[in-house]
Chains A and B, each alone.
Chain A
Amino acid sequence: AQKVTQAQTEISVVEKEDVTLDCVYETRDTTYYLFWYKQPPSGELVFLIRRNSFDEQNEISGRYSWNFQKSTSSFNFTITASQVVDSAVYFCALRANMDSNYQLIWGAGTKLIIKP
């Protein structure tokens, strides 16, 4: 069975702190893709990153970075020097070859609150 676990329901930090959002996935497939989406208070779902199972290089985009570790089946997301605008619900998702319909399997989301 495929599954995505975001164990942190809610995280609250003060602005400028670094914060890491955890994502642990389960799949028996060797070819799969992992995604992060952001849902700010305005409600839209914004795509952040896609990572395939064959590329374990970490990714950095400005204050955002992602740490993909196949050994621990994790794809964690770190925000450096957080800002109030980072406040949102963040979703991790998995898509694998074993699912014939290639459905996205979603985590429950982590609500991130950045206090000024």
Chain B
Amino acid sequence: DTAVSQTPKYLVTQMGNDKSIKCEQNLGHDTMYWYKQDSKKFLKIMFSYNNKELIINETVPNRFSPKSPDKAHLNLHINSLELGDSAVYFCASSYTSGVSETQYFGPGTRLLVL
């Protein structure tokens, strides 16, 4: 049973397109996250939701919009894709947003913008 799943695993698209990445967790966690990992493997938090409420919104372009229909899902919609958006996007979840909580990651979505 997959704990944190993401679809699609690979996404190749043209500049200017709009795309979505879906994330679902079956761990019963209250908090979900989106991270971006660049080509140098640097991990950067983008968003965090606790029980469907946005709690972290780092400086990302407003072309990126997270949507949490329920606490088991956190989708990422990206408008007007740019070359610099090419990266691996990871979804993660944790039991709560507390300092001690371990984050569990999905398999990643490899986005390539041409």
Interface residues of A (CB under 8 A from B): 31-33, 35, 37, 39, 43-47, 50, 52, 89, 91, 95-97, 99, 101-104, 106, 108-109, 111
Contact = CB atoms under 8 A, between A and B. Distances in A.
Contacts of A89: 41
A43 B41 contact: no
B60 interface: no
**From DSSP, what is the main secondary structure of chain B's interface residues?**
loop
A50 B41 contact: no
B47 to A, nearest CB: 11
A17 B48 CA distance: 40
Interface in B1-50: 40-43, 45, 48
Given A43-B107, A106-B42, A106-B43, 12 more contacts: A31-B99, A33-B100, A35-B102, A43-B108, A43-B110, A47-B104, A89-B41, A102-B97, A103-B48, A108-B40, A109-B42, A111-B41
Contacts of A97: 99
B99 A104 contact: no
B93 to A, nearest CB: 12
A39 B107 contact: no
Nearest to A95: B99
A43 B45 CA distance: 17
Interface of B: 40-43, 45, 48, 55-56, 88, 90, 92, 97-108, 110
Given A32-B99, A33-B99, A97-B99, A103 B45 contact: yes
A52 B110 CA distance: 33
19 contacts: A31-B99, A33-B99, A35-B102, A37-B105, A39-B41, A43-B108, A44-B106, A44-B107, A45-B108, A47-B105, A89-B41, A91-B43, A95-B100, A96-B99, A97-B99, A101-B55, A103-B56, A108-B40, A108-B41
